[in-house]
Amino acid sequence: RRPAAIILLDRLYYIDARGMIFARVPKGHRITYPILTGLNRDDFKARLDESEGLVSRALWLIKIIRNGEVLSLEDISEIRMDKTLGIRIYTYEGAMEIKLGLDHYVEKWNRLEKVWKHLRKSPRTPIYIDCSYDKRVIVKTRETKAF
């Protein structure tokens, strides 16, 4: 099996593109995949369908990112899953939060890419980008050079 990501439960585990956990990440092993967070073993026991649905959404988003133009998987440190808030991404550089919600990831990612291209030209550094709305993107910035 090939890892698509790493999921943090009680420990770090490799997870494939179909959402199957297949091996523990050895201690000291270099992390080269996004880490899926926000769930634990009890979530899978108590709410299996909901937990598997969140994992599926996160893995679908990884495919979208892989085909995108502005961020790569190497730029992403964490993909946080939440049954209420949906998916949030955190970048390595600047620990910026990108909020994506629970659905319509292709459309939201396309909007993010358009906004991202404008942000690269701006002297402001984004703190977070909220793409969780259906037709708009909200950006909160601070006054420093972004890139």
pLDDT at position 71: 85
What lies within 8 Å, CB to CB, of 23 at 6+ separation is: 1, 13, 14
pLDDT at position 100: 96
pLDDT 10s digits, 60-74: 999 999 888 888 888
Phi-psi region of 81 (alpha: psi -120 to 50; beta: other; left: phi over 0): beta
pLDDT 10s digits, 11-63: 999 999 999 999 999 998 888 899 999 999 899 889 989 999 999 999 999 99
pLDDT at position 143: 65
> What would the two tokens of residue 13 be?
């585990």
Alpha-carbon span 81 to 28, nearest angstrom: 25
pTM: predicted TM-score of the whole model, two decimal places: 0.88
pLDDT at position 112: 93
Alpha-carbon span 62 to 46, nearest angstrom: 26
Residues facing residue 36 across a β-bridge:
7, 79
CA distances from 87 to 25, 60, 117, 146 (A): 23, 11, 22, 23
pLDDT at position 120: 81
pLDDT 10s digits, 104-146: 999 999 999 999 888 888 877 888 999 999 889 999 987 655 5
pLDDT at position 23: 95
What lies within 8 Å, CB to CB, of 117 at 6+ separation is: 70
Q: How confident is the model at residue 147 (pLDDT cuts 50, 70, 90)?
A: low
